Amino acid sequence: MADLGRAALIVTLGLVLWATLAGALAARFGRRRLADSAGNALLAALASTAVASLVLLGALLRHDFSFTYVADHTSTKLARAYSVSAFWGGQEGSLLLWLLVLCGYGAAAVLLNRRRAPDVVAWTVPVLGAVATFFAFLLVAVASPFATQTAPPEGAGLNPSLQNPYMLAHPPLLYLGYVGLTVPFAFGMGSLLAGRADERWIVATRRWTLVAWTALGIGQLLGSHWAYVEVGWGGYYAWDPVENAALMPWLAATAFLHSVMIQEKRGMLKVWNMLLVLLAFGLSLFGTFLTRSGVVNSIHSFTQSSIGPWFLGFICFVVVCSLALVFWRLPLLRSKTRLESLVSREATFLYNNLLLVAFCLTVLWGVAFPMLSEAVRGEPRTLGGPYYNFFLRTFGLPLLLLMGIGPLVAWRRASLRSVGRTFLWPFSFAVAVGVGLIALGAGSSLPGLLAYTFSAFVLASIVLEFVRGTRAAGSFTLLVSRNRRRYGGYVVHAAVVLFAIGVAGSAYGSSREAKLRPGESMHVGSYTLVYRSAGTTRVANANETRARVDVVRGGERVATVFPGKNQYFAERQVSNEMAIHTDWLRAEDVDVIADQINANGTIYFKALVKPLVNFLWIAGVVFLLGALIALWPDAREQRRLVARYALAQG
Amino acid sequence: MTAALVLAGLLAMACVVLVAVPFLREPAPPDDTLAAPGELARRQLELTEERDRALAALKELEFDHRTGKISDVDYRAAVGEYRHRAAAALKALEPRLEEHPRRVRARD
């Protein structure tokens, strides 16, 4: 069946090439049937890529080790669900997933918009086709998932840390996010190529951008939770380049989602929005490059990687061509209106944009620094946690504050008197919370104290917005249903506040390490951990060694946890299995890690108390809720937009 | 191997048919020109967007006033200007709306 997979990918390559070349010719010379044919090629490419994906999935589920990819990433002992997740566990499978999702997005975008904005879609198809051509070419010529060999009796298995339920959802969501950012990019560039200065491309891609941004956000949170429960070091984010690879496009997309509102409401920032959409897409490519080229594991692996140079070349091509296009169309993108006041809603959006982009570029510098330092000085130097944490505080705290200020300020211009009046309640509440926190001893960490005080301010301003809005609209349901994007956005802001509370909680955590014999205990925070015993059980694919540890608080046993290690047979790897006790009343976790298990029965334990860490995961649920509210279709707005564009089409 | 190649051939044929469908339709459409707004339609679209922005701004101003973000004094100072802008946008669009039926008739 590998032949079918290979052939399907060759068919896909032919189709996306046709979509690119025929699409460009059709758009240039205004040929409708050729444009329809190019759009259909994207639909057909989805079908042929789906066939290739089914071939690979079938081989993974059958453990057909004649496929090199299957032998390298599965074993007969691997659970069926993880045989599925092995699809995106390796480079070739990930690239195939990229292409499949891209063809899916492209086909859907073409189907939904080809009759509404035919001239923009005509130019969008070749842009989507060009991106798909790059990935199809990689899969056909450079990194095929359908390479075959003489089947070995057993496969190498899947990396143990990837054998986790989160890995079933985390990578596909990230890919939905990364690839989804291709749609606004392609429409933006399509609009420029078509010579359109209006907002048609923004209207067409608003929901696509939100879907991609939501998927990227939720994907990152799932990844953080996976790191927290699976990687076994007691943290959830390590500023690892691969983690940063997903954060950067999300930050750029967040800036875009805000600034695009200014273009819609004021007709401003057209060039900035084009640059942001390019930045978000470029960073999603860069993120895939970082994750898949091997450049982040070792600077030297770059030269060994088969796809790294191709990726770097493609990123440069995309950036140079897009910048040239924006430059060419600058006269079209000139704004007729100006910012009226530095105290206005759009001004706060602008500050928010500058901070988000500055933070994004700071992270990019941190990621690129090892590569640049090696190129210049011959040895890679990495920028660690302190660098990122400094800029997180520098840009994150003002961003948090702006989330509270923005909703309280009127559009266009606001007088200081009005601002003072609307700020009174949230400001008073935040000051009261800040004073209360100092009294409770939270002043030990200034960033933590500021984060909580600002969070109180933001929450108060959001509540105030809902209360005043409900009074003005006459009903809560009416208020939200008629302003879904705005109030969905406020719910997302509330999620960011919960997230900030969770992150700031780490400033008040405690940790302890100790080597214990059975019966001995250690103290961490207000807890005592008593190591009772240890034992090993054999499961299908691993030996599981677990310590039995009682968690005692105030002289009373509150839980028993089982930290330990798994020794995987096929993979010949050992994984740390951290144990977590969640105390919902005290809003904190006790994490116990059996760092070193000795043959004489002693274990070197590491224990951490993490206050408020669960706010991060609650934030994910609230974030999803807010995004769904914002995404929900608004029939009134749809009718208005249909009327607007029908009028313009004549 | 053979079955795989047959399946691949069928897949390729189906894809080619889908791509060729726009050229296979009978009868062929008399006009193969891609619909794109002309200069007039583009200007009209710009004006429509300006009108929508002006009306939305007026609506926002009313809402901000009702929710207390804008004081009565500030509201009175701003509302006149906003109404003027909205009216100007509507007025700019009016002649185009009048031209519209004539344009359609001319095309007929």
Span A580-618, pLDDT tens digits: 999 888 889 999 999 899 988 899 999 999 999 999 999
Has residue A255 been placed in a domain?
no
- CA distance linking residue A83 with residue A551, whole number of Å: 36
Sorted by sequence, the CB contacts under 8 Å of residue A84 that are 6+ apart come out as A57, A60, A61, A168
Query: Which of A129, A139, A98 lies closest to A7 in space, CA to CA?
Result: A139
Nearest Cα residue to A461 out of A493, A485, A434, A484 = A493
Examine residue A528 and state whether it is found in any structural domain, yes or no: yes
Q: Is A645 in CB contact (< 8 Å) with chain B? A: yes
Non-local CB neighbours of A167 within 8 Å, separated by 6+ positions: A82, A85, A89, A226
pLDDT, greater one: A640 or A38 = A38
ipTM for the assembly: 0.79
How far A396 CA sits from the closest chain B CA (Å)?
26
Task: Give the DSSP letter of residue B34.
Answer: P
A260 within some domain: no
Give burial (CB, 10 Å; 0-12/13-18/19+) of A146.
Answer: buried
Question: Mutating which of A6, A13, A25, A33 best tests the B interface, going by the most B Cβ atoms within 10 A?
Answer: A33
Residue ranges of domains in chain B: 36-107
Please tell me what DSSP assigns to residue A442.
Answer: G
Q: Tell me the shortest Cα–Cα distance from B87 to chain A, in angstroms.
A: 16
Residue A233: per-residue pLDDT:
75
A364 assigned to some structural domain: no
Write down the pLDDT at residue A609: 94
Is the peptide bond between B27 and the residue preceding it cis, with omega within 30 degrees of 0?
A: yes
Contacts of B33 in chain A (CB under 8 A): 30-32
User: Parallel, antiparallel, or unpaired: how do β-strands A556-561 and A564-568 relate?
Assistant: unpaired
Distance between CA atoms of residues A313 and A316, nearest Å: 5
- pLDDT (tens digit, 9 = 90+) per residue, B28-67? 777 778 777 777 777 888 888 888 888 888 888 888 888 8
- Tell me what pLDDT residue A628 has: 96
Q: Report if residue A149 sits inside a domain.
A: yes
Residue of A92, A23, A84, A14 whose CA lies nearest to A48: A14
Domain final position from A138, A162, A186: A162
Residue A63 is assigned to a structural domain of this protein: yes
At A439 the pLDDT is 93
Per-residue CA distances from A145 to A62, A278, A560, B7 (Å): 15, 30, 45, 19
CB-based contact (8 Å) between A343 and chain B? no
% of chain A beyond a pLDDT of 90: 60
The range of the structural domain enclosing residue A530 comes to 508-611
Position A16 in a domain: yes
Q: Which residues of B touch A67 (CB under 8 A)?
A: none
Type of residue at A205: T
- Chain B residues with CB under 8 Å of A33 CB are 22-23, 29, 32
Q: Residue range A448-457: average pLDDT? A: 94
pTM to 2 decimals?
0.90
Q: Nearest residue on chain A to B58, judged by CA atoms?
A: A411
Domain count along chain A? 2
More confident residue, A393 or A378: A393
Residues with Cβ < 8 Å from A642, sequence gap 6 or more?
none
Residue B50 is which amino acid?
E
